[in-house]
């Protein structure tokens, strides 16, 4: 399996499992990631996802040039949506995703990380968009997400030069949330996931949806979206449980209903 998909309580863990190729994504890996992400999206018992790469050398080195690029060249013009839907493009996913970045994160690998909501990086991680050096541009969202996440000039530096940056520079420009020792990447990701699992899952998903959908709206329309989502949450059992638990000074027992 190119994608190792495991469930630990309320947490789903997706491991890109091609260490011999620095976890580069081939067509099979993309298909398996789609299947795993759909299962995660549709499983009411899963509340948070973590994406990582096998081993400690690479999170994902990008697209497998020998496999993925010929496929894209064959299909993109006639069928631009030939690639399976993923959080990078085509799959709406409101459950939060954490990228546990344990090494080289280039091209499509960076785009996978950008499609996550939180990014935890190893001290040895390196990030880059080398596509222009191949005569291409990123195709999984980097040209759109990167300028929305980091300052425009830093996004342009990464996208136009193809030169990589290290973990500390990624932290300095706001590309990652935190930098930790390599051996602490996965444990930190799980700690953050557990914290999120203590919150109301419907509220967490609504907050993510409001952020993502609102980013393409005017402020006025975004506020309307926020209001509609808040009104929905107030009708849920989780809202009743959360407010009751607060008054009773106890830990809430959220059910995602």
User: Tens digit of pLDDT for each residue in 140-168?
Assistant: 999 999 999 999 999 999 999 999 999 99
Instruction: Give the pLDDT confidence score for residue 70 in this predicted structure.
Output: 73
- Cβ neighbors of 164 (< 8 A, separation 6 or more) are 106, 126, 127, 128, 130
Residues of the chain with CATH 3.90.226.10: 3-197
The answer to whether the beta carbons of residues 1 and 32 sit under 8 Å apart is: yes
User: Tens digit of pLDDT for each residue in 40-95?
Assistant: 999 999 999 999 999 989 999 988 877 777 766 666 665 555 678 899 999 999 99
Name the superfamily (CATH) of residues 3-197. 2-enoyl-CoA Hydratase; Chain A, domain 1 (3.90.226.10)
User: Tens digit of pLDDT for each residue in 212-231?
Assistant: 999 999 999 999 999 999 99
Just give the CATH number of 201-247: 1.10.12
Catalogue the active-site residues: 111, 131
The answer to whether the beta carbons of residues 31 and 68 sit under 8 Å apart is: no
């Amino acid at each position: 399996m190119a994608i190792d998909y495991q469930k630990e309580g309320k947490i789903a863990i997706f491991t890109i499992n091609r260490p011999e190729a620095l976890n580069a994504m081939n067509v099979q890996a993309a298909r398996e990631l789609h299947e795993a992400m759909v299962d995660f999206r549709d499983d009411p018992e899963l509340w948070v996802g973590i994406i990582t790469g096998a081993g400690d050398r690479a999170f994902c080195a990008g697209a497998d040039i020998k496999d993925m690029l010929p496929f894209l060249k064959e299909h993109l013009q006639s069928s631009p949506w030939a690639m399976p839907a993923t959080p990078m493009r085509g799959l709406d996913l409101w459950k939060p995703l954490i990228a546990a970045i344990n090494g080289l994160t280039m091209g499509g690998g960076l785009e996978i990380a950008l499609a996550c909501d939180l990014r935890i990086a190893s001290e040895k991680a390196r990030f880059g968009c080398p596509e222009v050096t191949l005569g291409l541009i990123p195709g999984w969202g980097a040209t759109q997400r990167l300028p929305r996440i980091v300052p425009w000039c830093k996004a342009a530096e990464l996208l136009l030069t193809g030169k990589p940056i290290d973990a500390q520079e990624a932290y300095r420009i706001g590309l990652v949330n935190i930098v930790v020792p390599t051996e602490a990447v996965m444990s930190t990701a799980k700690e953050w996931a557990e914290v999120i699992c203590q919150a109301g899952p419907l509220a967490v998903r609504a907050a993510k949806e409001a952020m993502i959908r609102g980013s393409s709206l005017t402020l006025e329309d975004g506020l309307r979206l926020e209001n509609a989502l808040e009104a929905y949450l107030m009708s849920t059992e989780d809202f009743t449980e959360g407010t009751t638990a607060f008054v009773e000074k106890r830990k809430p027992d959220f059910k995602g209903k």
